[in-house]
Structure 1
Amino acid sequence: MNLGEQTGPTPTSTPKPRDYYFDNLKFILIVLVVLGHAYRPLIDESPIVKSVYLAIYTFHMPLMILVTGFFAKNFNREGQAKKLIATVLIPYIIFEVLYSVFDHYVNSTDSIDLSILEPYWIMWFLFSLFLWRLMLPYFINLKYPLITAYLLAIIIGYIDDADKLLSLSRTISFFPFFLTGYYLQRHHFDFLFTRWKQVLSVIGLALLILMYWYLVFHSSIDLDFRKWLYFVYPYEGLNRPEWYAGIIRLSFIGLALLASMFVLALTPRKKTFFSRMGSRSLYVYLLHGFIIKAYNAANIDDKFTGPALYIIVTIISVVVTLLLSSRFVQSCAQPLVQPKVQWLFRKKSEKQKLNNVLG
Structure 2
Amino acid sequence: MTDSPRPNGNRRTPPSPAPSPGTGAPPAGVPRSGAPASGKPRDAFFDNAKYLAIVLVAIGHFWEPIKGGSRFMEAAYTLVYAFHMPAFIIVSGFFSRGFDLRPDRLRRLVTGVVVPYVVFETAYPLFKRVVDGDPRQEISLLDPWYLTWFLCALFVWRLTTPIWRAVRHPLPLALGLAMLASVSPGIGDDLDLQRVLQFLPYFVLGLCLRPEHFHLVRCRSVRILAVPVFVSASALAWWAEPRMTTGWLYHRDSAQELGAPWWTGPVMVLVLFGCSLLLTACFFAWVPGRQLWFTALGAGTLYGYLLHGFVVKAGDYRGWFDTLVPDGPAGAVAVTVFAAVLVTFLCSGPVRRVFRCVVEPRMEWAFGRAAAGPDRVRGQGEARATREAGGTRASREGREGREAEEQVSA
**Normalising by structure 1, what TM-score?**
0.90
Residue equivalent to 1:314:
336
Residue equivalent to 1:25:
49
Farther-moved stretch of structure 1 (45-54 vs 88-97) = 45-54
Whether contact under 8 Å (2:149, 2:192) holds in the other structure is yes
**In the TM superposition, what whole-angstrom CA distance separates every residue of 1:141-190 from its partner, at most 9, and x where no partner exists?**
22322111101101101111224211100001111111110110000010
Query: What are the residue-to-residue correspondences of 1:189-268 with 2, within 5 Å?
Result: 189-217=214-242, 221=243, 223-224=244-245, 226-268=246-288
Separation in 1, partners of 2:262, 2:180? 13
Residue 54, structure 1, aligned to residue 78, structure 2: yes
Residue equivalent to 2:187:
162
Whether contact under 8 Å (1:70, 1:182) holds in the other structure is yes
Whether contact under 8 Å (1:227, 1:238) holds in the other structure is yes
Query: What are the residue-to-residue correspondences of 1:1-359 with 2, within 5 Å?
Result: 3-4=24-25, 5=27, 15-76=39-100, 77-217=102-242, 221=243, 223-224=244-245, 226-303=246-323, 304-348=326-370
Structure 1: segments with no counterpart, 5+ residues: 353-359
**In the TM superposition, what whole-angstrom CA distance separates every residue of 1:55-78 from its partner, at most 9, and x where no partner exists?**
111011111011000001221255
Separation in 2, partners of 1:273, 1:50? 31
Farther-moved stretch of structure 1 (178-187 vs 43-52) = 43-52
- Pick closer, same or farther for the CA change 1:300–1:306 going to 2, 3 Å: farther
Separation in 1, partners of 2:334, 2:51? 20
> Post-superposition shift, 1:265?
0.5
Query: Runs of at least 4 residues of structure 1 off by over 4 A?
Result: 4-11
Percent identity between the aligned chains? Answer: 31
**In the TM superposition, what whole-angstrom CA distance separates every residue of 1:258-304 from its partner, at most 9, and x where no partner exists?**
11100011100000110001111011011111111011123234333
- Pick closer, same or farther for the CA change 1:101–1:7 going to 2, 3 Å: closer
**Normalising by structure 2, what TM-score?**
0.79
Separation in 2, partners of 1:111, 1:91? 23
Separation in 1, partners of 2:266, 2:257? 13
Separation in 1, partners of 2:236, 2:36? 47
Separation in 1, partners of 2:338, 2:139? 30
Separation in 1, partners of 2:207, 2:65? 35
Quick one: which amino acid aligns to residue 70 of structure 1?
Answer: F
Whether contact under 8 Å (1:92, 1:127) holds in the other structure is yes
Separation in 2, partners of 1:163, 1:57? 23
Quick one: which amino acid aligns to residue 179 of structure 1?
Answer: V
- Pick closer, same or farther for the CA change 1:31–1:349 going to 2, 3 Å: closer
Separation in 1, partners of 2:164, 2:96? 13
- Pick closer, same or farther for the CA change 1:227–1:10 going to 2, 3 Å: closer
Give the structure with the larger helix fraction: 1
- Pick closer, same or farther for the CA change 1:136–1:298 going to 2, 3 Å: same
Structure 2: segments with no counterpart, 5+ residues: 1-18, 375-410
- Pick closer, same or farther for the CA change 1:109–1:251 going to 2, 3 Å: same
Separation in 2, partners of 1:301, 1:290? 14
The alignment of Structure 1 onto Structure 2 pairs a total of residues equal to: 344
Farther-moved stretch of structure 1 (53-62 vs 130-139) = 130-139
- Pick closer, same or farther for the CA change 1:109–1:6 going to 2, 3 Å: closer
